[in-house]
Amino acid sequence: MDPSIPMHDEEEAQRLPPKRLVNKVAVITGGARGIGAATAKLFADHGARVVIADILDDLGATLADSIGGRYIHCDVAKEADIESAIELALKWKGRLDIMFNNAGVPGPSGSITSLDMENVKHLLSVNVLGVIHGIKYAAAAMIKGRIGGSILCTSSSAAIMGGLGGHAYTLSKEAINGLVRSAACELGVHGIRVNCISPHGVPSEMLVSAYREHLGKMDMTAEDVSKIVGERGSLLRGRCATVEDVAEAALFVASEDAGFITAHNLVLDGGYTSACSTMSFIYQNGH
């Protein structure tokens, strides 16, 4: 027992769950807000050193300072920006253990017969090429470091079930799922795990904006979206996923608790894409 630590503090520390990412170094793209920000905070709480890579400089820098991390301006569509983010982690701590390819954009909506192809190309440059850039440079650093690692990518329930997103967005998320499986096949021999997380209906800034545009209600709030998704988009009636739910999933997949999981798509949808949600009404009140 350490005599410098009061007995009650030591007993309290023993009761707390262990930190799962002590001495790990992580890069999170799109880490300035939403899912990325929640994950950055949780990773830091569990002992990780976090590099936040984003284009939202004020938000990203403020968050990085608050968690003892680092911030770098990073447009994931630009290969050199991703390379610089990885280099920052290596210069800062000499290693890279976790890469979370989380940055993404919603892209154009509407009929496939009238899609603006320039907007589609921009979406693919962020949502697909950005993930390729992240896996490419993270894997190279992890292989060189010979310590293995965990690469995560944010996909979506839209990659599993049609009609949950715009055509280009759906395409991009389905591409991520395939890329994760392919990269996992190559990188497993180096001890590098590659997985993706597919949230459904998380009321992030991106989803709230999409609902406002789709419904023509520009005053909709995150709480409004949560209520809609909770009532219609989950088998757990009234329950909507939060950014913290996704962060907890990312923590699990990134940690050694998931050390034998790779090439996997972890779906966070309250069962929505796996069952006929109308069945729940049949059995209500014991009927």
Q: Which of the listed ranges 15-29, 30-44, 273-287 does the model predict with the highest average pLDDT?
A: 30-44
Residue 44 and residue 66 in contact, taking contact as beta carbons nearer than 8 Å: no
- The token pair at 96 is 């890279």
pLDDT value at residue 283: 47
C-alpha to C-alpha distances, 79 to 31, 174, 222, nearest whole angstrom: 17, 21, 33
pLDDT band at 108; cut points 50, 70, 90: confident
The reported pLDDT for the residue numbered 286 is 47
CA neighbor of 99 nearest in space, from 192, 164, 32: 192
Residue-averaged pLDDT of the chain: 88
Confidence of residue 110 (pLDDT cuts 50, 70, 90): confident
Q: Is the pLDDT of residue 6 over 70?
A: no
Instruction: Evaluate if residue 145 carries a pLDDT over 90.
Output: yes
pLDDT in tens, 213-236: 666 677 777 676 666 666 676 777
**Which pTM was predicted?**
0.88
pLDDT of residue 272: 85
pLDDT band at 280 (very low <50, low <70, confident <90, very high): very low
**Residue 3 pLDDT > 60:** no
Query: Is 226 inside a domain boundary?
Result: no
Cβ neighbours for 168, distance < 8 A, ≥ 6 positions apart = 107, 108, 115, 119, 120, 123, 124
Q: Is 169 a catalytic residue?
A: yes
Domain residue limits at 198: 18-202+241-270
Measured in degrees and rounded to the nearest 5, phi and psi for residue 92 equal: -75, -50
| pLDDT band per the 50, 70, 90 thresholds, residue 17 | confident
Give me the number of domains the chain comprises. 1
Write down the catalytic residue from 169, 211, 272, 283.
169
Average pLDDT over every residue of 18-30: 96
Lowest mean pLDDT among 62-76, 115-129, 261-275: 261-275
Whether 126 is in a domain gets the answer yes
Tell me what percent of the residues of the chain surpass a pLDDT of 90: 69
Percent of the chain whose predicted confidence (pLDDT) is above 70:
83
In the predicted structure, residue 239 carries a pLDDT above the cut 60: yes
Is 286 among the domain residues?
A: no
Q: What is the pLDDT of residue 276?
A: 62
| 271 has a pLDDT exceeding 80 | yes
pLDDT reading at 285 higher than 70? no
Query: Looking at the domain assignment, is residue 124 inside a domain?
Result: yes
The reported pLDDT for the residue numbered 151 is 98
SS3 198: strand
Does some domain include residue 280?
A: no
Q: Which residues pair with 195 in a beta bridge?
A: 152
Tell me the residue ranges of DSSP E strands in 183-264. 192-199
Residue 107: pLDDT band with limits 50, 70, 90: confident
Q: Is 158:173 a contact under the CB 8 Å cutoff? A: yes
Q: Give the helix, strand, coil percentages of the chain, each rounded to 5.
A: 55, 15, 35
CB atoms near residue 109 (< 10 Å): 15
**Residue 214, pLDDT score:** 62
Domain assignment present for residue 209? The answer is no
Angle among Cα 186, 191, 192 to the nearest 5 degrees reads 60
169-217 pLDDT per residue, tens: 999 999 999 999 999 999 999 999 999 999 988 876 776 676 666 666 7
CATH of the domain at 258: 3.40.50.720
Does residue 157 lie in a domain region? yes
- What does the longest C-alpha to C-alpha distance in the chain come to? 72
The answer to the question of residue 129 being in a domain is yes
Following DSSP, what letter does each residue of 87-147 receive, concatenated?
Answer: HHHHHHHS---EEEE--------S-GGG--HHHHHHHHHHHTHHHHHHHHHHHHHHHHHTS
Average pLDDT over residues 44-72: 98
